[in-house]
A and B are shown apart, each in its own frame.
Chain A
C-alpha cells in the first residue's frame, strides 16, 4: 500500500473524478474520462514513453458507470496497476476484466440510489422547507442549502470512501460494497420522504392556511377544492404509472384548463 502511489496522487484522482463524464460519447461512453482521471497515476508509475502510452491505451477502452460509484472501480484499478508495476502476477487483461465486471452492477446501484432516490429525496426536503417557510424568504433559502448539503454529504463521501477503500482493499472491495446495503437505505429514504409529503398534504389540500403557501385556489369551495385536487392527483399518478411523461402532463393540464375556460 502506498508503495509507489502517494496520497497526493489519490487526491488528484479524487478531484479529477468530477470530470469523469466531461467527454461522454455514444461509442465508448466514459472512456476519455477514465483516461483523464487516471492520468496522474500513469505519470507516477511510468516515466518512460512506452509505459505511459500503453497506460493511456489501456484506459481508453469502453467504460460506463455511475459517476459517484466509479470511484470504487478507479480505486481498484489503481491498486492493480501498482501491483502490476511492482511485479506481482497481474495482467492488463485481468484489470480490464475486473473493470468490465464491476461497472454494470455499480452503475445499477448508483443510478438507483443517487438518482432515483437520493436526489428526489433532497428535492422534496428542499421544496418542503421552501413551502413551509412561505413568504419568509430569508428562511426559504435554507431549502436549497439543506438539499445541497444532504446530497453532497453522501455524494462526496461515497466518492472518497470508494477511492481510498478501493485502493487499499483491491479486488476484495466487493465485500465492502455488498455491506453498503443501499437498498435498505432506499426504503428508509422513501419512508422519510413519504412522511414529509404527508405532513405537507394538509397545506396543499386544506386551504384555510392558504397564506402560508405561495398558492391558493380561488372561486371553488374549500372542501370541494381539496377533493378535486386530490382526485386530480390520483389521475396524474395513474397517468404516470402508464409512462406518460411529466412534460406531457404539464402541457396537458394547461391545455385542458384553457379548453375548460372556453366551454
Chain B
C-alpha cells in the first residue's frame, strides 16, 4: 500500500504544478485526475464518481486576481485514494464510503489553499530581493527562482496529499466503521443528492433567460423519447452533440448575416 501511496502522491505532486504554475491546462482538474487515479488504484468506478461529484460542485470557483479558490486537486486525490482503499478493504462498494471520503478530504483543500497563500507571501519577499539585486547593479537569477518555485509547488502538492493519507488512513477507517447506522444511511442519501449541487452550479453559470426555450425543448425531446423507447445513451449523446453543433453553426450564421 505504501508503494501505491508514494506513486500516487508523486503523480499528484506533478499534476499540482499545473494548478497554477502551468496556467491551467485542465490536467489538474478532478475530471481528469480522479479517473486517472481510480485507474491506477484498480477502481475506475470510484474515480469516475468522484470526478463527477467534485468537478461540477467547484467548477465555478475561479482564481481571479488575488482570490484563491479551494484547491480541488488534493481533495480529489485524497478522496479517490481513500475510497478505493476502503472499498477494497471492506470488500464491497458502498455509496456511503465515497461520500464519507469526499467529506473528510474537503478540509485538505482548505489546508492547501492556506499553504498556497503563504508561498505567495514568500514570493513577495523574493520579488523584493530581485528588485534589490537590480538596484545593486546585478542581474538577478530569475530562472532559478522560477524553477525553485516549481519545486516548492511540487513539494507542497506531495505533502498535502501524502500526509493526510499516511497518517489519517487507519484512523479514518475506524471512524467510518464506528459511524452510527443512521449517519451511514444519510451519507448514502447524500450521495444521490449532492450531484444536484453540481448541476445547480453549472446552471447558475450558463443559464440565460433567452435560451430557456432551447433548454426546455432539449429536455422535453429527450424525456418524450425516453418514454417510448429503451434509451440508448450513445444515441442521446450523439443527438445532443449534433443539436449543439447545429446551434453553434446557426449562431455563427446569424452573426455573419448581421
Contacts and interface: CB of A to CB of B under 8 A. Distances in A.
Interface in B203-258: 203-208, 211, 214-219, 221-223, 226, 230-231, 233-234, 236-237, 239-241, 243-244, 247-248, 251-252, 255
B134 A246 contact: no
Contacts of A143: 31, 35, 48, 51
Q: Is the interface of A mostly helix, strand, loop or mixed?
A: helix
A177 interface: no
B62 A115 contact: yes
Contact of B182 (A52, A240, A258): A258
Contacts, number: 329
A123 B59 contact: yes
A197 B199 contact: yes
A194 B106 contact: no
Interface in B82-125: 95, 99, 103, 106, 120-124
Given A132-B236, A132-B237, A261-B183, A119 B215 contact: no
Nearest to B117: A26
Nearest to A54: B134
Given A144-B31, A261-B182, A27 B128 contact: yes
Nearest to B57: A246
Contact of B120 (A26, A36, A249): A26
Contacts of A128: 237, 240
Contacts of A60: 127, 130-131, 134, 140
B60 interface: yes
B63 interface: yes
A192 interface: yes
Interface stretch (B16-24, B155-163, B168-176): B16-24
Nearest to B225: A202
Interface in A15-47: 17-29, 31-33, 35-36, 39
Contacts of A187: 208, 251
B30 to A, nearest CB: 9
B254 to A, nearest CB: 9
B190 A184 contact: no
A32 B146 contact: yes
Interface residues of A, number: 107
A148 interface: yes
B200 A237 contact: yes
B44 interface: yes
A53 B137 contact: yes
Interface stretch (A75-83, A94-102, A160-168, A211-219): A211-219
Interface residues of B, number: 110
Contacts of B243: 195, 199
Interface string A203-232: 110101100101111000000000001001
Interface stretch (A1-9, A84-92, A133-141): A133-141
Contacts of B196: 204, 229, 232-233, 236, 253
Contacts of B131: 60
Contacts of B63: 115
A82 B192 CA distance: 59
B5 to A, nearest CB: 23
Contacts of B15: none
Contacts of B193: 229, 232, 253, 257
A137 B44 contact: yes
B32 A148 contact: yes
A116 B124 CA distance: 28
B52 A18 contact: no
Given A49-B139, A236-B196, A258-B183, 18 more contacts: A24-B120, A32-B142, A57-B134, A117-B205, A119-B24, A127-B198, A130-B51, A134-B233, A151-B25, A190-B206, A190-B207, A197-B215, A206-B223, A215-B95, A251-B106, A253-B196, A261-B182, A262-B182
6 contacts: A23-B149, A28-B127, A130-B35, A236-B200, A250-B194, A257-B186
